[in-house]
Amino acid sequence: MKTRSMVRVTVAVGYLALGLGAGAPAAEDPRVTGAAHPAPEQFAEPGPRELPQRRGFLAQLGGDFARFAAPGNLAVLGAGGLAGLAAHPWDRQLTADLNRSSTLDEVFDAGAVSGNGYVQGGLALGTFLTGRLVRSRELSQLGGDLIRAQIVAGAVTTGLKLAVGRQRPDGSTRLSFPSGHTSATFATATVLERRYGWKVGIPAYGIAAYVAASRLQANKHFASDVLVGAAIGIAAGRAVVYEHGHTSFSIAPMAVPGGFGVALVGSGR
Protein backbone atom coordinates (compact mmCIF):
# COMPACT_ATOMS: atom_id res chain seq x y z
CA MET A 1 0.00 0.00 0.00
CA LYS A 2 2.80 2.37 0.85
CA THR A 3 4.40 1.68 -2.51
CA ARG A 4 1.16 2.46 -4.37
CA SER A 5 0.69 5.66 -2.38
CA MET A 6 4.22 6.79 -3.22
CA VAL A 7 3.61 6.11 -6.92
CA ARG A 8 0.38 8.12 -6.87
CA VAL A 9 2.07 11.04 -5.12
CA THR A 10 4.97 10.95 -7.59
CA VAL A 11 2.59 10.95 -10.57
CA ALA A 12 0.54 13.80 -9.08
CA VAL A 13 3.65 15.89 -8.45
CA GLY A 14 4.85 15.17 -11.98
CA TYR A 15 1.58 16.40 -13.53
CA LEU A 16 1.64 19.48 -11.32
CA ALA A 17 5.18 20.29 -12.44
CA LEU A 18 4.20 19.86 -16.09
CA GLY A 19 1.16 22.08 -15.60
CA LEU A 20 3.20 24.85 -13.98
CA GLY A 21 5.87 24.62 -16.65
CA ALA A 22 3.34 24.97 -19.43
CA GLY A 23 1.61 27.88 -17.72
CA ALA A 24 -1.81 26.20 -18.13
CA PRO A 25 -3.37 22.73 -17.65
CA ALA A 26 -3.27 20.36 -20.59
CA ALA A 27 -6.37 20.26 -22.79
CA GLU A 28 -8.58 17.18 -22.62
CA ASP A 29 -8.36 14.76 -25.49
CA PRO A 30 -11.74 14.78 -27.29
CA ARG A 31 -11.19 11.15 -28.33
CA VAL A 32 -11.28 10.21 -24.63
CA THR A 33 -13.88 12.60 -23.26
CA GLY A 34 -16.11 12.63 -26.31
CA ALA A 35 -16.08 16.44 -26.39
CA ALA A 36 -16.61 18.15 -29.71
CA HIS A 37 -13.68 19.84 -31.42
CA PRO A 38 -13.67 23.51 -30.33
CA ALA A 39 -14.20 26.16 -32.98
CA PRO A 40 -11.08 28.13 -34.05
CA GLU A 41 -12.38 31.28 -32.39
CA GLN A 42 -12.40 29.49 -29.02
CA PHE A 43 -8.60 29.46 -28.97
CA ALA A 44 -8.38 32.91 -27.39
CA GLU A 45 -5.11 34.02 -25.84
CA PRO A 46 -5.34 33.21 -22.10
CA GLY A 47 -4.03 35.59 -19.48
CA PRO A 48 -0.82 33.67 -18.65
CA ARG A 49 0.38 34.04 -22.25
CA GLU A 50 1.03 37.73 -21.59
CA LEU A 51 4.35 36.71 -20.00
CA PRO A 52 6.17 36.07 -23.32
CA GLN A 53 5.01 39.51 -24.50
CA ARG A 54 6.57 41.11 -21.44
CA ARG A 55 9.82 39.26 -22.10
CA GLY A 56 9.62 40.47 -25.68
CA PHE A 57 9.19 44.04 -24.50
CA LEU A 58 12.27 43.81 -22.29
CA ALA A 59 14.27 42.25 -25.12
CA GLN A 60 13.21 45.09 -27.42
CA LEU A 61 14.15 47.62 -24.77
CA GLY A 62 17.61 46.10 -24.47
CA GLY A 63 18.01 46.46 -28.23
CA ASP A 64 16.86 50.07 -28.01
CA PHE A 65 19.63 50.91 -25.56
CA ALA A 66 22.15 49.16 -27.80
CA ARG A 67 20.94 51.06 -30.90
CA PHE A 68 21.11 54.34 -28.96
CA ALA A 69 24.86 54.21 -29.60
CA ALA A 70 24.53 53.28 -33.31
CA PRO A 71 26.64 55.38 -35.74
CA GLY A 72 23.71 57.48 -36.94
CA ASN A 73 22.67 58.27 -33.39
CA LEU A 74 26.23 59.07 -32.38
CA ALA A 75 26.19 61.69 -35.16
CA VAL A 76 23.02 63.20 -33.70
CA LEU A 77 24.43 63.14 -30.16
CA GLY A 78 27.70 64.63 -31.39
CA ALA A 79 25.84 67.43 -33.17
CA GLY A 80 23.86 68.13 -30.00
CA GLY A 81 27.00 68.15 -27.88
CA LEU A 82 28.80 70.54 -30.22
CA ALA A 83 25.73 72.77 -30.34
CA GLY A 84 25.64 72.80 -26.56
CA LEU A 85 29.29 73.78 -26.38
CA ALA A 86 28.76 76.53 -28.94
CA ALA A 87 25.76 77.90 -27.02
CA HIS A 88 27.45 77.70 -23.63
CA PRO A 89 28.97 81.24 -23.72
CA TRP A 90 25.45 82.70 -24.20
CA ASP A 91 23.71 80.40 -21.73
CA ARG A 92 22.94 82.92 -19.02
CA GLN A 93 22.18 85.75 -21.43
CA LEU A 94 19.63 83.74 -23.42
CA THR A 95 17.86 82.51 -20.33
CA ALA A 96 17.82 85.98 -18.77
CA ASP A 97 16.49 87.59 -21.98
CA LEU A 98 13.59 85.13 -22.24
CA ASN A 99 12.86 85.37 -18.52
CA ARG A 100 12.42 89.16 -18.49
CA SER A 101 9.14 89.31 -20.39
CA SER A 102 5.93 88.87 -18.37
CA THR A 103 4.03 88.37 -21.62
CA LEU A 104 6.11 85.30 -22.42
CA ASP A 105 5.17 83.84 -19.04
CA GLU A 106 1.64 83.25 -20.28
CA VAL A 107 2.78 82.11 -23.73
CA PHE A 108 5.09 79.41 -22.39
CA ASP A 109 3.14 78.29 -19.31
CA ALA A 110 1.84 75.15 -21.02
CA GLY A 111 5.37 73.96 -21.79
CA ALA A 112 6.10 73.06 -18.19
CA VAL A 113 3.12 70.70 -18.11
CA SER A 114 3.12 69.21 -21.60
CA GLY A 115 6.85 68.46 -21.52
CA ASN A 116 6.80 66.79 -18.12
CA GLY A 117 8.12 63.23 -18.27
CA TYR A 118 5.12 61.90 -16.37
CA VAL A 119 2.76 63.54 -18.86
CA GLN A 120 4.69 62.21 -21.87
CA GLY A 121 4.92 58.77 -20.30
CA GLY A 122 1.22 58.84 -19.40
CA LEU A 123 0.27 59.74 -22.97
CA ALA A 124 2.43 56.89 -24.25
CA LEU A 125 0.86 54.41 -21.84
CA GLY A 126 -2.61 55.73 -22.64
CA THR A 127 -1.98 55.22 -26.35
CA PHE A 128 -0.87 51.64 -25.75
CA LEU A 129 -3.83 50.79 -23.52
CA THR A 130 -6.30 52.41 -25.92
CA GLY A 131 -4.85 50.31 -28.74
CA ARG A 132 -5.31 47.15 -26.69
CA LEU A 133 -8.83 48.17 -25.71
CA VAL A 134 -10.00 48.81 -29.28
CA ARG A 135 -7.84 45.95 -30.59
CA SER A 136 -5.84 48.22 -32.87
CA ARG A 137 -2.43 46.71 -33.53
CA GLU A 138 -1.18 49.95 -35.06
CA LEU A 139 -2.17 52.03 -32.04
CA SER A 140 -0.81 49.57 -29.48
CA GLN A 141 2.49 49.31 -31.37
CA LEU A 142 2.73 53.11 -31.46
CA GLY A 143 2.10 53.22 -27.73
CA GLY A 144 4.77 50.59 -27.13
CA ASP A 145 7.27 52.57 -29.21
CA LEU A 146 6.47 55.76 -27.30
CA ILE A 147 6.85 54.00 -23.93
CA ARG A 148 10.23 52.55 -24.86
CA ALA A 149 11.44 55.90 -26.24
CA GLN A 150 10.49 57.59 -22.97
CA ILE A 151 12.32 54.94 -20.95
CA VAL A 152 15.52 55.26 -23.01
CA ALA A 153 15.46 59.08 -23.06
CA GLY A 154 14.57 59.26 -19.36
CA ALA A 155 17.30 56.82 -18.29
CA VAL A 156 20.03 58.60 -20.26
CA THR A 157 18.86 62.05 -19.18
CA THR A 158 18.61 61.12 -15.51
CA GLY A 159 22.01 59.48 -15.55
CA LEU A 160 23.62 62.60 -16.98
CA LYS A 161 21.77 64.86 -14.54
CA LEU A 162 23.13 62.93 -11.59
CA ALA A 163 26.62 62.64 -13.06
CA VAL A 164 27.02 66.29 -14.09
CA GLY A 165 25.13 68.01 -11.26
CA ARG A 166 24.79 71.37 -12.98
CA GLN A 167 22.88 73.98 -11.00
CA ARG A 168 19.69 75.34 -12.54
CA PRO A 169 19.56 79.03 -13.48
CA ASP A 170 17.14 79.69 -10.62
CA GLY A 171 19.42 77.85 -8.17
CA SER A 172 16.68 75.43 -7.12
CA THR A 173 18.48 72.10 -7.77
CA ARG A 174 21.59 70.66 -9.38
CA LEU A 175 19.65 68.81 -12.09
CA SER A 176 19.88 71.32 -14.91
CA PHE A 177 21.89 69.37 -17.52
CA PRO A 178 20.36 68.05 -19.72
CA SER A 179 16.70 69.09 -19.95
CA GLY A 180 14.32 66.21 -19.20
CA HIS A 181 11.28 68.04 -20.59
CA THR A 182 13.14 68.55 -23.86
CA SER A 183 14.43 65.01 -24.21
CA ALA A 184 10.95 63.59 -23.47
CA THR A 185 9.14 65.71 -26.05
CA PHE A 186 11.79 65.26 -28.74
CA ALA A 187 11.67 61.49 -28.18
CA THR A 188 7.92 61.55 -28.79
CA ALA A 189 8.29 63.78 -31.84
CA THR A 190 10.95 61.52 -33.34
CA VAL A 191 8.85 58.39 -32.90
CA LEU A 192 5.93 60.12 -34.63
CA GLU A 193 8.12 61.40 -37.47
CA ARG A 194 9.77 58.02 -38.02
CA ARG A 195 6.44 56.21 -38.13
CA TYR A 196 4.30 58.70 -40.05
CA GLY A 197 6.68 61.02 -41.88
CA TRP A 198 7.16 64.78 -41.82
CA LYS A 199 3.46 65.71 -42.09
CA VAL A 200 3.16 64.55 -38.50
CA GLY A 201 6.81 65.12 -37.59
CA ILE A 202 6.92 68.86 -38.32
CA PRO A 203 4.11 69.86 -35.90
CA ALA A 204 5.44 67.35 -33.35
CA TYR A 205 8.93 68.89 -33.51
CA GLY A 206 7.33 72.34 -33.32
CA ILE A 207 5.70 71.40 -30.01
CA ALA A 208 9.00 69.96 -28.77
CA ALA A 209 10.83 73.19 -29.68
CA TYR A 210 8.13 75.17 -27.86
CA VAL A 211 8.70 73.04 -24.74
CA ALA A 212 12.46 73.56 -25.01
CA ALA A 213 12.05 77.34 -25.23
CA SER A 214 9.64 77.28 -22.30
CA ARG A 215 12.33 75.75 -20.07
CA LEU A 216 14.61 78.72 -20.74
CA GLN A 217 11.78 81.19 -20.20
CA ALA A 218 10.87 79.49 -16.90
CA ASN A 219 14.47 79.99 -15.72
CA LYS A 220 14.87 76.23 -15.26
CA HIS A 221 17.45 75.50 -17.96
CA PHE A 222 20.22 76.97 -20.09
CA ALA A 223 20.36 76.77 -23.87
CA SER A 224 23.04 74.08 -23.74
CA ASP A 225 20.77 71.98 -21.49
CA VAL A 226 17.93 71.94 -23.99
CA LEU A 227 20.18 71.43 -27.02
CA VAL A 228 21.72 68.30 -25.55
CA GLY A 229 18.30 67.21 -24.25
CA ALA A 230 16.90 67.48 -27.76
CA ALA A 231 19.72 65.35 -29.16
CA ILE A 232 19.10 62.67 -26.52
CA GLY A 233 15.38 62.59 -27.31
CA ILE A 234 16.02 62.33 -31.05
CA ALA A 235 18.53 59.52 -30.58
CA ALA A 236 16.12 57.66 -28.28
CA GLY A 237 13.29 57.90 -30.81
CA ARG A 238 15.55 56.77 -33.65
CA ALA A 239 16.80 53.81 -31.58
CA VAL A 240 13.25 52.62 -30.96
CA VAL A 241 11.78 53.13 -34.44
CA TYR A 242 14.89 52.39 -36.46
CA GLU A 243 13.06 50.24 -39.03
CA HIS A 244 10.53 52.95 -39.93
CA GLY A 245 12.94 55.61 -41.16
CA HIS A 246 11.46 57.07 -44.34
CA THR A 247 13.95 59.88 -44.80
CA SER A 248 17.68 59.95 -45.23
CA PHE A 249 18.13 62.86 -42.85
CA SER A 250 17.19 63.61 -39.26
CA ILE A 251 16.73 66.80 -37.33
CA ALA A 252 19.34 67.83 -34.76
CA PRO A 253 19.85 70.93 -32.59
CA MET A 254 22.43 73.56 -33.47
CA ALA A 255 23.62 76.81 -31.93
CA VAL A 256 23.63 80.10 -33.82
CA PRO A 257 24.79 83.54 -32.68
CA GLY A 258 22.28 84.87 -30.20
CA GLY A 259 20.14 81.72 -30.13
CA PHE A 260 19.73 78.17 -31.30
CA GLY A 261 18.00 76.31 -34.11
CA VAL A 262 17.89 72.95 -35.85
CA ALA A 263 19.89 71.29 -38.58
CA LEU A 264 19.58 68.17 -40.73
CA VAL A 265 22.13 65.39 -40.26
CA GLY A 266 22.62 62.07 -42.04
CA SER A 267 20.46 59.27 -40.63
CA GLY A 268 22.86 56.36 -41.17
CA ARG A 269 21.60 53.11 -39.72
Q: What is the pLDDT of residue 262?
A: 54
Phi-psi region of 258 (alpha: psi -120 to 50; beta: other; left: phi over 0): left
What is the predicted pLDDT for the residue at 253? 58
CA distance 119 to 114: 6
Q: How far apart are CA 250 and CA 265, in angstroms?
A: 5
Convert the pLDDT of each residue in 246-264 to its tens digit.
444 455 555 555 555 555 4
28-62 pLDDT, tens per residue? Answer: 444 434 444 444 444 444 433 333 344 588 899 99
pTM (2 d.p.)? 0.72
pLDDT in tens, 115-161: 888 999 999 999 999 999 999 999 999 999 999 999 999 999 999 99
Given a cut of 80, is residue 9 above it in pLDDT? no
Looking at residue 252, its pLDDT comes to 54
The DSSP secondary structure of 132-177, one letter per residue, reads HHTT-HHHHHHHHHHHHHHHHHHHHHHHHHHHH-PPPTTSS-S--S
Torsion sign, CA atoms 8, 12, 17, 19: positive
**Residue 24, pLDDT score:** 39
Quick check: 208 pLDDT over 70?
yes
Which has the higher per-residue pLDDT, 8 or 140? 140
Amino acid 172: pLDDT: 95
Q: Give the confidence band of 109 by pLDDT, cuts at 50, 70, 90.
A: confident
For a pLDDT cut of 70, what percent of the chain falls above it? Answer: 70
Question: Average model confidence (pLDDT) for the chain?
Answer: 79
Buried b (16+ CB within 10 A) or exposed e, 201-239: beebbebbbbbbbbbbbbbbbbbbbbbbbbbbbbbbbbb
Lowest mean pLDDT among 12-21, 173-182, 197-206: 12-21
The domain limits of the chain are: 66-266
Over residues 204-213, mean pLDDT: 95
Using one digit for the tens of pLDDT, what is the confidence trace for 167-187?
Answer: 999 999 999 999 999 999 999
Q: Is the pLDDT of residue 218 over 70?
A: yes
Question: What would the DSSP string read from start to end of 95-127?
Answer: HHHHHH-HHHHHHHHHHHHHT-HHHHHHHHHHH
CATH numeric code, 66-266? 1.20.144
- Which residues lie closer than 8 Å to 126 by C-beta, 6 or more apart? 143
